[in-house]
Amino acid sequence: MTERADQFAITLAQLNPTVGDVSGNAAKARAARAQARAEGADLVVFPELFIAGYPPEDLVLKPAFQSACRAAIEELARDTADGGPAVLIGSPWVEDGKLYNACALLDGGRIAAIRYKANLPNYGVFDEKRLFARGPAAGPVTIRGIRVGVPICEDIWLEESEDYENVVECLAETGAEILVVPNGSPYARDKNDVRLSIAVARVTESGLPLIYLNQIGGQDELVFDGASFALNADLSVAAQLPAFAESITTLRWRKGESGWHCAGPMASVLDGDQGDYAACVLGLRDYVAKTGFPGVLLGVSGGIDSALCAAIAVDALGAERVRGVMLPFRFTAQVSLDDAAKLAGALGIRYEVLPIAPAVNGFEAILAETFKGLPRDITEENLQARTRGTLLMAISNKTGAMVVTTGNKSEMSVGYATLYGDMNGGFNPIKDIYKTEVFRLSTLRNSWKPDGALGPSGEVIPVNIITRPPTAELRENQTDQDSLPPYDMLDAVLERLVEREEPLASIVEAGFDREVVARIDRLLNIAEYKRRQAAPGVKVTSRNFGRDRRYPITNRFRDSGKPLPKPDDALLSRPRSGSAEAFEG
């Protein structure tokens, strides 16, 4: 392609890579480049670490994996000898014995340039400082005569600090004309606004247009929503790509007196409850597809948690790949049996009823002599859940279908989701969804479904399931809220404890009952061992019970609920300015 000083066509490949599938990811890159060439693009861009899949975690430390990624990049570089568009593609890169998170420019049959990520995130779900070396801030790369700056993800996120390398400032000072930012930014509720504000800040300080390219897809607990966008230098939105869908989009930039400008397509972006639901669908779909399960099964109880999970599963995989099993015991109400059957019929899934009384009674008979003289308690009641888990896993082993678990975040937080019923299995699409949102999402699904959902439209969750009080057979058909505070109160307290890490005293000051707050905190602490045994599940909040909230199981600290004491700075000896005091022990 010839250089055009006033035009520059960039194809954004918002795609869904698979971690470890180096050849498959390279094939996706070739197909995208072929489309970009057909559309007359000068450059095609891929998300962060695309050739490896993101995040690769400790897989990226394996020399064999590093070598496979390098070989794939070299082969893609040879492809560019055909005169087609240049390629910017993310890959791990070893140089002088150090491993970098890198982006390679491939053009003219060669690896024309390499840029390294300078700012490595090490918070929440990110753990890059233990994996990668920090790269230097570098100037732009030249593509078809245009100077393109390539900050990688976190290189635009951090504000000024001692550890922050101001990559954008460096690029602006060294002549960059446009910023292209490859990202691996996981979905979280309302994150689109955060990303946009970060990008606006970088455009404001640099005066340069910015392209924010994000990957899509599920990777274990993480879901990447895409929603890539571009900003002109005047802060107007130049383009918006869709969320939760692959997209190969060519943006045509033109250079005028005020610099480069683009007017591209504008897709709608999901957020709030709709975004959470779409994330749950995509997370389950990709977990099943990328791990190779032929389908899923789940226990259908007639309750709202399993109903929502069944709807998500059908939307993700299609009714023919979802199997529902009702496992009633003597405490199961007829209304639960009726509602479960209605749900299965509305979703069109295979459905069967397997009464568990013979198995539970058999366990009790086996234990009768061992428990002789001891009162009945929760031990016998929990045999129901253990029996259900055993039967679901037996069907899974026989058929190859993965068990979808159905415990919500509220009940998992306080230990009311049973290990062998709600939590053990292959994957949980509502693991990070509080109970109050379970109700909202169920109502939402009856009037809306995301683009690409494979389930039927209209009312799929019987209204009776949504409106009747939730039941829990853990306490012989009492309701959950006979022993827990109302869910709106429970979730409000948990949100402050889990997401914000607030002291108990400040939660009480906000108007919550002291005894209720203390009890929820106690239940949260003692349930840590249960949550460690739970299946992985989709992350949608700022902190989930997975990658980014790590508490010790053996832990004697408890917040007393008293106001926090003020530090006594008078006790602290501080070195005088210029002092070289040191402790030698």
Q: What angle do CA 208, 32, 285 make, to 5 degrees?
A: 100
Half-sphere exposure of 133 (CA within 13 A, CB side): 13
Alpha helices, H only, 39-163: 63-79
Kindly tell me the burial class for residue 16, based on how many C-beta atoms sit within 10 Å of its own C-beta (0-12, 13-18, 19 or more): buried
The two most distant CA atoms of the chain are separated, in Å, by 90
Pairing of strands 322-326, 350-353: parallel
| CB 392, CB 325: distance < 8 Å | yes
| CB 15, CB 248: distance < 8 Å | yes
| DSSP summary character for residue 421 | I
> Which residue in 28, 69, 103, 153 is the catalytic one?
153
Say how far apart CA 344 and CA 350 lie, in whole Å: 7
Say how far apart CA 416 and CA 533 lie, in whole Å: 14
Find where tokens 């107007």 sit.
236
Backbone angles phi and psi of 282, in degrees to 5? -65, -40
Distances in Å between the alpha carbon of 49 and those of 52, 139, 197, 200, 350? 6, 20, 24, 24, 40
> Which residue in 28, 103, 117, 177 is the catalytic one?
117
Q: List CB contacts of 515: < 8 A, sequence separation 6 or more.
A: none
Handedness of CA 266, 268, 272, 277 (dihedral sign): negative
Q: What is the number of residues in the chain?
A: 585
Helix or strand (DSSP H, E) at 219: strand 216-219
Q: Residue 356 has which token pair?
A: 């568990």
Distance of CA 447 to the CA centre of its chain: 25
Judge whether 153 counts as a catalytic residue: yes
Find where tokens 């109903």 sit.
307
Say how far apart CA 417 and CA 480 lie, in whole Å: 10
What residues are annotated to the active site?
A: 48, 117, 153
